[in-house]
Amino acid sequence: MSESLHAAVEGAGNDGLKGDGGVAAGIAARVAALHGQGSKQDPRRTTAPVLALGIFERVGSNWLSDSLRTVMPQHNEPLRQQLGKEHPLSALNPEPAGPDTKLDGLARHHLACALSDLYGRPQHLVKETNLFFATSTVLGLLPDSPVLILTRAPVGIASSFARGGLWDRWHYGERYQQLARAARSSQWQDFAPLLPIDDPEPPVALGRLIAVNALLLAHALTPGLGGCRRDCLVVPYENHVSDRAATLASVTRHLGLTLPASSPVRTAGRPASADATFATTGHKDGLVAELDPRTAELVSHHAAATVEFAGGRCSRRRPRRSLPPGWPVTSATRCAPWACASGLSHGRRRSASACPPRGTGPSPGCPGETCWSPTSRWPNS
């Protein structure tokens, strides 16, 4: 296989990333062919991996991985870990890949090896969260892969971030600034108004980031807007907490899998010093987000307002057309249920006049239907 991979690398001319002769697309096609993937491949016998793509971090991807581990080999963010941030196609590269991106010999070899590792029978599961501007690239490198879209209400994501101190631990303040600069590149300039460089406080920045990543995912999965038609299933975090067995049954049925009979493992407790950030052996009987009311309101408001602004309903400014015409409304409509879900089981609806003050940029006001009265315990977790 190593000699075949070498041939795949050498057989792709060093042209731009996109187009029939693009080096990255050429390598991806050759690697897929090496693993028996073809245009007439029976979808039930595909060797292409299943992609689990989250609208953000903390959306239940670890639970999904552990639930399917007995029947599917696992890859945790391989294209971020195997392709360093200096690689042109890395999700961590400060400069998003564009149509004229060049790959040298070593970068091409790394890409071929990273992709080859993901193919096989039984199908592999590849988990990638918050790819942002690398989303279209990753999907383009794996055009035959079915997709599981992992969603969670913004207040739930914020609650998980608060419990683990993840905003600071994972340097999301720096990440926001890096993405805001990337949004001002020529390829992604339509996204610049959604990520203002205004030193936002963490709940505001988090709400914007959740919405922008969901918008980019919707854009990349929409045929005609840069995406190709593929098999997708939305897996809400709230569903697998409220009915774990039914949600897992839906996923396995969709993927054509059969899980061995087993009993779920529950933990009675863990030492106070243990880091439970990635633990999946616990059990939740309800959805409660432990957030102060202001944080919960800010995250929900800015996620919803960013999606609404992208759809063009809150701005008279005509967006620049570096992306295909119609992308804002189409992508915003598709991702709204993912990024604007409240996950609420109780609460009193607030009127629009009681919403936070009208702001600038992507926070043009608070849609009344997404605002809820402050409580000490917000549903979700």
- Rg (C-alpha) for the chain, rounded Å, is 21
Mean pLDDT, rounded, for 341-353: 40
Q: For residue 330, give every residue at least 6 positions away whose Cβ sits within 8 Å of its Cβ, in sequence order, or none.
A: 218, 222, 225
- Do the Cβ atoms of 235 and 61 come closer than 8 Å? no
Tell me the pLDDT tens digit for each residue of 180-212: 999 998 888 889 999 999 999 999 999 999 999
- pLDDT above 70 for 354: no
**How many C-beta atoms lie closer than 10 Å to residue 286's C-beta?**
11
**The amino acid at 360:** T
Average pLDDT value over all residues in the chain: 76
Instruction: Give the pLDDT score at 339.
Output: 85
Phi, psi of 235 (to 5 degrees): -120, 95
Q: Record the pTM.
A: 0.80
Q: Is the dihedral of CA 77, 79, 82, 85 positive or negative?
A: negative
* pLDDT tens profile 263-291: 454 444 445 444 555 555 555 666 777 89
Q: In angstroms, rounded to a whole number, what is the distance separating the alpha carbons of residues 231 and 62?
A: 22
What CA–CA distances, in Å, run from 265 to 73, 91, 284?
20, 34, 12
Contact 63, 381 (CB under 8 A): no
More confident residue, 104 or 122: 122
Query: Which one has a higher pLDDT value, 170 or 15?
Result: 170
State what percent of residues in the chain have pLDDT above 70.
69
Asked if 362 contacts 196 with a C-beta cutoff of 8 angstroms, the reply is yes
- CATH numbers and ranges of domains, the chain: 45-82+117-257+287-381 (3.40.50)
Looking at residue 156, its pLDDT comes to 94
- For 66-120, write each residue's pLDDT tens digit: 999 999 999 998 877 777 777 877 777 777 776 567 788 788 888 888 899 999 9
Measured distance CA(216)–CA(198) in Å, rounded: 21
How confident is the model at residue 376, as a pLDDT?
30
Task: Provide the pLDDT confidence category of residue 15 given band limits of 50, 70 and 90.
Answer: very low
CA distance 319 to 315: 9
Q: How many CA atoms lie within 13 A of 310 on its CB side?
A: 35
Task: Identify whether the C-beta of residue 117 lies closer than 8 Å to the C-beta of residue 202.
Answer: no
C-alpha–C-alpha distance, residues 67 and 127, integer Å:
13
User: Is 109 in a helix, a strand, or coil?
Assistant: helix
Confidence check: pLDDT of 373 > 60: no
User: Which residue would you say has higher pLDDT here, 359 or 5?
Assistant: 5
pLDDT at 223: 74
Cα separation, 117 vs 124, whole angstroms: 9
**Is 80 exceeded by the pLDDT of residue 363?**
no
In the prediction, which pLDDT does 265 show? 45
Predicted local distance difference test score (pLDDT) of residue 272: 44
Buried b (16+ CB within 10 A) or exposed e, 10-40: eebeebbbbeeebbbbbbbbbbbebbebeee
Q: What gap in Å lies between CA 364 and CA 367, rounded to an integer?
A: 9
What's 123's DSSP letter? P
pLDDT at 317: 45
Spatial neighbors of 12 by CB under 8 A, at least 6 apart, are 23, 24, 26, 27, 30, 108
Q: Write out the two tokens for 279.
A: 């633990």
Point out which residues pair with 48 in neighbouring strands: none
Q: What is the pLDDT of residues 322-335, one digit of tens each?
A: 445 556 667 788 88
Output the pLDDT for position 367: 33
CA torsion through residues 365, 370, 376, 378, sign: negative
Structure tokens at 24: 């990255």
